[in-house]
Amino acid sequence: DRCGYPEVVYGEGKTPEQIIEVFRAQQAAGQACLATRISAPHAEAVLAAFPHAVHHPVARTIRLTSPSSRLAVTPLRDGLEGHKTPAVLVVTAGSSDRPAAEEALETLAWAGAECALITDVGVAGPQRLLKQVDRLSEARVVIVVAGMEGALPSVVGGWLSCPVIAVPTSVGYGTSFGGLTALLGMLNSCAANVAVVNIDAGFKAGYLAALMLRSASPGPQES
């Protein structure tokens, strides 16, 4: 396994058969499975083989709880009212940033990390963010997903005292350059608590957040 977690399948350019084969091996080894970047038709084929797998069409992921079930978690997507703040909050600037945010949530769920989604707190409507600051400051890690100018992680980072993982998205037009402008903005954040991952890399953000929650177990990894 990689990094203490079962290996994750990068679905781009793989056939459903290849994915099913990896999942079979992982299930046999008692591991939870995750595949990302899965198209709708491929997902259907995989679900036919694993009817208990969870396919998320916006995240474009399929995950499969390990038989021993230790990691069963469901992300909170419909508001946090009446809920205790989970360890990880995933925040989006606009509704188009949803796919990368969902990929992060599904990765967190697969990794067994409690998590929730807060949407549409982009900087052009500043009151919306202000209303969430108290909630956000209760999380242990916050993932911020934003396209266009990518300013949101800086603003969120300025309010919080926990690590912020910034995910630039390919949302925008003209000089948004497929997410490059958002990425550059995040790398140059004047908030010091902002770490950055690749454009649209919701998976990496979720994976890193889950790692940050565990205290790393000593000893070299086996694979």
Ligand X SMILES: Nc1ncnc2c1ncn2[C@@H]1O[C@H](COP(=O)(O)O)[C@@H](O)[C@H]1O
Nearer CB in complex with ligand X: 85/162: 162
Q: Minimum distance between the CB of residue 59 and a second copy, rounded to whole angstroms? A: 15
Window 22 to 51, contacts with ligand X (CB under 6 A):
36-37
The residue within the footprint of Mg ion, chosen from 53, 109, 118, 146 (CB under 5 A), is 146
Nearer CB in complex with ligand X: 85/158: 158
Q: Minimum distance between the CB of residue 34 and a second copy, rounded to whole angstroms? A: 11
Compute φ and ψ for 105, nearest 5 degrees.
-65, -45
Verify binding: residue 92, ligand X, rule CB under 6 A.
no
Q: How many angstroms separate the Cα of 204 from the Cα of each of 38, 69, 160, 180? A: 16, 23, 21, 17
The residue within the footprint of ligand X, chosen from 111, 117, 121, 201 (CB under 6 A), is 201
Verify binding: residue 173, a second copy, rule CB under 8 A.
yes
Nearer CB in complex with a second copy: 68/223: 223
166, 150 contact by CB (below 8 A): yes
Q: Minimum distance between the CB of residue 158 and a second copy, rounded to whole angstroms? A: 4
DSSP H or E stretch at residue 63: strand 61-64
The residue within the footprint of a second copy, chosen from 56, 121, 201, 202 (CB under 8 A), is 201
In angstroms, the CA 136 to CA 155 distance is 12
Find the angle CA(125)-CA(127)-CA(131) to the nearest 5 degrees.
Answer: 130
Q: Which does 9 bind (CB under 5 to 8 A by kind): a second copy, Mg ion, ligand X, none?
A: ligand X
DSSP string, 88-138: EEEEESSGGGHHHHHHHHHHHHHTT--EEEE----TTSHHHHHTTHHHHTT
Nearer CB in complex with a second copy: 52/219: 219
The sign one gets for the Cα dihedral 202, 207, 212, 214 is positive
Verify binding: residue 151, a second copy, rule CB under 8 A.
yes
DSSP H or E stretch at residue 146: strand 141-146
Residue 221 DSSP symbol: P
Helices 98-110/202-213 angle, 10° precision = 40
The residue within the footprint of a second copy, chosen from 45, 49, 73, 123 (CB under 8 A), is 123
Q: Minimum distance between the CB of residue 13 and ligand X, rounded to whole angstroms? A: 8
Provide the binding-site residues for ligand X, judged by CB under 6 A.
7-10, 36-37, 94-95, 124, 190, 192, 201, 203-204
